[in-house]
Structure 1
Amino acid sequence: MRLLSAALAASLLASAMLAHDYTSGNITIGHPFSYETISTARTAGGFLSITNAGDTPDRLIAVEAPVERVELHRTEQDANGVNRMVEQEGGVVIPAGETVTFEHGSWHVMFFGLPEGGFGDGDRIEAVLVFEQAGEIPVIFNVEARGGGHDRHGDHDEHEAGMDRDHDH
């Protein structure tokens, strides 16, 4: 019984360490993360959730991070059924009382011009999310190993392999 209790406690501690949220006013940022990349990668995706507990919508208008540039993207399917990552230049609306999830196949943050060696498991990317109403919210995107419990988010191999047709890398 004691061994089971210790294992449960260790499991809960590990889950708490992996999950990290940030709250500023009515905005809560849930578990920002990116996946480790190959060492030659020039791009990587960033994933998180944003909850707006307020009575009015807000808009994520930018993400600042120590890379060449950061863009807000959405995966869209064209008439031929081909998925493309499209920059959302006007930002992303976070409706009042709702959560917007940034995940593979939907909204996501794109980091361009990664540091030499790419992102490694355990790295921490300091970033600032800039909102129209809530202002600047500093966060850390934890870099996780692929298959680290967020498989529903997939990966960005199409960006890393240079197959993104909407951007010059």
Structure 2
Amino acid sequence: MSLSRTLLAATAAISLAMPAFAGSEITIEDAYARASGPTAMAGAAFFVIHNMGDEDDRLVAAESDAAKRVELHTHIEEADGVMRMVEVEEGFPVAAGTMHHLKRGSDHVMFMGLNAPWEQGKILNVTLVFENAGRIEVEIPVDNERADEMPMEGMSDHTDSHN
């Protein structure tokens, strides 16, 4: 086998083992989705966006046939201390060289009007739309049993404000 074929085969094998990505700029890691119960009409997806490029980007939309509507949402605290979920029409910025965590109680992808129950282990096909990186197809497993997680010590959370 020639050196070029060996390198091509090695590159293909490595690319299959990598997380979802567009070029080498944006990667999506640790994705999972959950619904509040078997008869729930809404669910949410969470993941980490890594922007390894030299250019800022922004997640501007998400699309999926798993629900009638898919929107980018976050939680804001009202003056009375009550948390309210709102759509973030401008999307989530991801500065160059940083990451943005979509997590419970914060930024997330919201699915409204679920087309079928979200059973444990089901795979959702979701298209994430970025301002610069374009469309990224991801498979997000349903994990209704996943507990809230604390950030690992020393890991920074570059979640930007959108207010």
- State TM-score, norm by structure 2: 0.75
Cα RMSD of the aligned pairs, angstroms, is 1.6
Cα offset for 1:32?
1.6
Cα offset for 1:36?
4.7
What residue is the counterpart of 2:144 in the other structure?
Answer: 145
Higher helix share: 1
Q: Equivalent residues in 2 for 1:4-153 (5 A)?
A: 21-25=19-23, 26-66=25-65, 67-116=67-116, 118-146=117-145, 148=146, 150-152=147-149
User: Tell me, which stretches of 5 or more residues in structure 1 are unaligned?
Assistant: 1-19, 154-169
Secondary structure of the residue aligned to 2:114 is coil
Mapped partners of 1:152, 1:83: distance in 2? 20
Mapped partners of 1:68, 1:124: distance in 2? 17
Mapped partners of 1:61, 1:82: distance in 2? 26
What residue is the counterpart of 2:13 in the other structure?
Answer: none
Cα offset for 1:43?
0.3
Superposed CA offset, 1:58-96 (max 9, x none) = 011110101101010111111111101110011111111
Asked if the contact 2:125/2:138 (under 8 Å) is kept, the reply is: yes
Cα offset for 1:21?
2.4
User: Tell me, which stretches of 5 or more residues in structure 2 are unaligned?
Assistant: 1-17, 151-163
Cα offset for 1:31?
2.0
Asked if the contact 2:35/2:42 (under 8 Å) is kept, the reply is: no
Mapped partners of 1:91, 1:59: distance in 2? 6
Cα offset for 1:106?
1.1
Asked if the contact 1:61/1:91 (under 8 Å) is kept, the reply is: yes
Counterpart of 2:20 in structure 1: which amino acid? Y
Between 1:94-103 and 1:29-38, the stretch displaced more is 29-38
Mapped partners of 1:57, 1:140: distance in 2? 24
Asked if the contact 1:124/1:141 (under 8 Å) is kept, the reply is: yes
Counterpart of 2:21 in structure 1: which amino acid? T
- State TM-score, norm by structure 1: 0.73
